[in-house]
Structure 1
């Protein structure tokens, strides 16, 4: 069996900590068994390792998330990169074509698809393994995994069986799906033996390849990649699941929660406070998450979430916090904080002056042994000030060592890169008319290759 983890989303539901580059699954606010902070994706990846499933797993993600996944998973995961976000049907189709043509996966192989961020216990992934057996024994085109509900929730979708079955039943024939019912309707669904839809399903690879061929979509990975924009922007549920006739559900009895909103996420946090600040004793059930190096004081505000990041500040009643996506949905500001495979950066200041002149100031951290790419810019110059650590700079074919206090001037067109020998922090001040990603012309990333270029200049 092969697993496909879906890592998408625009990161609006957990604003301001999440953004287009750092969606909810990358927020390091959960504790591992050693009381170290970890993200949802790190937690899931460790659970996959425990279940022995990580080597058969691929992650389908977008361009903006590549470096963060590589950084948090130490480049262990096999990634399938969507050229642009087009919902879950195109993402799953691309993953299937990758397994079919690039990994030579047999058409009878069972593919299990699941979100990258479920909050579950270890038994969940052992149950995922049962999808393979269920596909073969029932002959179903799709087998879903459904969570046995513990209360009549209005927040989740439901898998409704064709007839009420014994709670000990291994599989359930699926009649239909109901999305986020009222509490009264949810109570009736529980009486019918309905399950929470946790977004996990399995199918034979050949089933989806045949479906793509029937719709006259390419099944060869490179061809599908080139024609990705022609795929409909639609969910897998609407395009495939609701049109499939023979569907079975596999009940799961263990713990499961969707940590998609601040109120549900804070329920699983081991501490009420991360970062600088004070929460008064009368601020009961209030959580403070502060990513800035300034103190935040909370007085007499119970049942609240206070989240402080370079992207903004949220102060919200926990029950009202799910509405944040509606309010910030149209925010299109550049991310002010990102993790990359080489380290991280934080935007400290941005200003725009007359004549379209712009100035952007970043604090950049580079991990030992890591480096920025060898690149040049078409419309901006940069000033680097080394705050701490030691590194090697490549500038126009020449190498030099830099240490804290050193300042470098990089003009438009200068070819430059930097590698950290020890943990390195620099302040980068960009000045120009185009302070955008498209102004970066990358020549190479590998430091050995960069050194070869510089030594050839000698």
Structure 2
């Protein structure tokens, strides 16, 4: 990175306007909702990412997810912002079910890392939302655990960008200890409220981290601010597109690389706004359990005289007994069982990846939820997958079809309707519906939840074998 001087006092905006008196403009906040949080397996997986787990509490003591907590804090921020959420297709249902209010949703056609995800979101701002190239864009993770001041800092980031002090402005966290878990931002000085950046150090050893902290380095928390035109110009160097749909269709042409490596380390001028409040990455069990409101969840019996600093989550219907453990986490779900020391839980990514190779056994959807009961492979190569579906009252499965499998629905309880190629039939307890391959079909629940057993039959049984056509019923 070529180092350039940075004006640290926000003395002038373009055109000689003082930022302190500049009329507040709309700041465009891009929230990245990416990874699946595999280090929180088996509670978190590809279909149920960590940011959607309701393990935190709001001010009224109600359970909330990381996503809901972050959006609530953004709503309380002093900045004038709109929100765009950049995520992958597999997280669309979770986002729509948990995020209320006005926001834009940008879906990656495939996962390619943070640089292309941010490029796609910025293209949506420019081409679909009509945002001006001179407006400020602030990119933040959607699953940060921080104080309200962290989100109020968005105003300072906007002022720094609009002052022309640097092409790229970061938010840096004052370290509370030397650690090798995070990257570091090394400023050339610590004067004023905006510091020029000299260089970056990515996840150093504890010894190097100690030296960095002593020399005034900050943790890199993954917050970036820039003018929209700065990013759209970079995107054009990779893909020239006349519309957002064209760019999204050529998404695989964008570089599969992180924003830090592709953009930050190549920037000509970078500055950082410091933040000294609470900031945590709740990506491992030892950090998440520090903020969990309840030590035990589910059908759990703990011998408390012999246990200390133990957290237990049991999502199965089986009783779970814990005795003689300390500084540990025990998690049991339909997808698997984890027993680990809290400190060791931060370093089991490889082991978890091996254990999580099978498909998710439980998933929540906008229409309800499903749980895999059984999976079989027969001598002739045919496969069978049995699920328990719960369609919530008044909701419906999308009108859809499958190319590689047939399905049989047996209604266990509740009432509703099914549709097969436009023909609607009533559903009651005991009803059986045969859905052949390529048949358009949907199901909805009436006055109460509809419980059904679904048996899938075919040579390939995957969630990707589905083509949706919106809702059949309004």
Match of 1:344 in 2: 369
Match of 2:411 in 1: 386
- Number of matched pairs: 445
Name segments (4+ residues, structure 1) moved above 4 Å: 52-55
Unpaired stretches in structure 1, ≥5 consecutive residues? 449-458
Q: Give yes or no for contact 1:358–1:435 (8 Å, CA) kept in 2.
A: yes
The CA deviation string for residues 359-397 of structure 1, in whole angstroms up to 9 with x for no partner, is 111111222221012234444332223333322222343
Match of 2:347 among 323, 331, 341: 323
Higher mean alpha-carbon deviation, 392-401 vs 295-304, is at 392-401
Secondary structure of 2:175 counterpart: coil
Superposed CA RMSD: 2.0
Q: Quote the Cα distance in structure 1 between the aligned partners of 2:208 and 2:466.
A: 54
Q: Give yes or no for contact 1:48–1:54 (8 Å, CA) kept in 2.
A: no
- Seen in structure 2, the aligned counterparts of structure 1 residues 306 and 8 have a Cα distance that, compared at 3 Å, is same
**Residue 325 of structure 1, CA deviation:** 1.2
Match of 1:85 among 107, 111, 117: 111
The CA deviation string for residues 332-381 of structure 1, in whole angstroms up to 9 with x for no partner, is 32121222121221112111111112111111122222101223444433
Match of 2:285 in 1: 262
Match of 2:219 in 1: 196
Q: Give yes or no for contact 2:79–2:154 (8 Å, CA) kept in 1.
A: no
**Residue 441 of structure 1, CA deviation:** 4.2
Match of 1:273 among 296, 312, 333: 296
**Residue 92 of structure 1, CA deviation:** 0.6
Match of 1:295 in 2: 319
Q: Give yes or no for contact 1:378–1:440 (8 Å, CA) kept in 2.
A: yes
Higher mean alpha-carbon deviation, 438-447 vs 176-185, is at 438-447
Q: Give yes or no for contact 1:349–1:362 (8 Å, CA) kept in 2.
A: yes
Q: Quote the Cα distance in structure 2 between the aligned partners of 1:78 and 1:405.
A: 42
Q: Quote the Cα distance in structure 1 between the aligned partners of 2:130 and 2:248.
A: 17
Match of 1:4 among 9, 23, 30: 30
Q: Quote the Cα distance in structure 2 between the aligned partners of 1:441 and 1:239.
A: 35
TM-score normalized with structure 2 length: 0.89
TM-score normalized with structure 1 length: 0.92
| 1:374 and 2:424 correspond | no
Unpaired stretches in structure 2, ≥5 consecutive residues? 1-26
Q: Give yes or no for contact 2:73–2:148 (8 Å, CA) kept in 1.
A: yes
Secondary structure of 1:437 counterpart: coil
Q: Give yes or no for contact 1:108–1:204 (8 Å, CA) kept in 2.
A: yes
Match of 1:400 in 2: 425
Q: Quote the Cα distance in structure 1 between the aligned partners of 2:298 and 2:66.
A: 19
Match of 2:247 among 210, 214, 224: 224
**Residue 112 of structure 1, CA deviation:** 0.1
Higher mean alpha-carbon deviation, 425-434 vs 279-288, is at 425-434
| 1:309 and 2:307 correspond | no
Q: Give yes or no for contact 1:393–1:416 (8 Å, CA) kept in 2.
A: yes
Match of 2:180 in 1: 154
Q: Quote the Cα distance in structure 2 between the aligned partners of 1:13 and 1:3.
A: 27
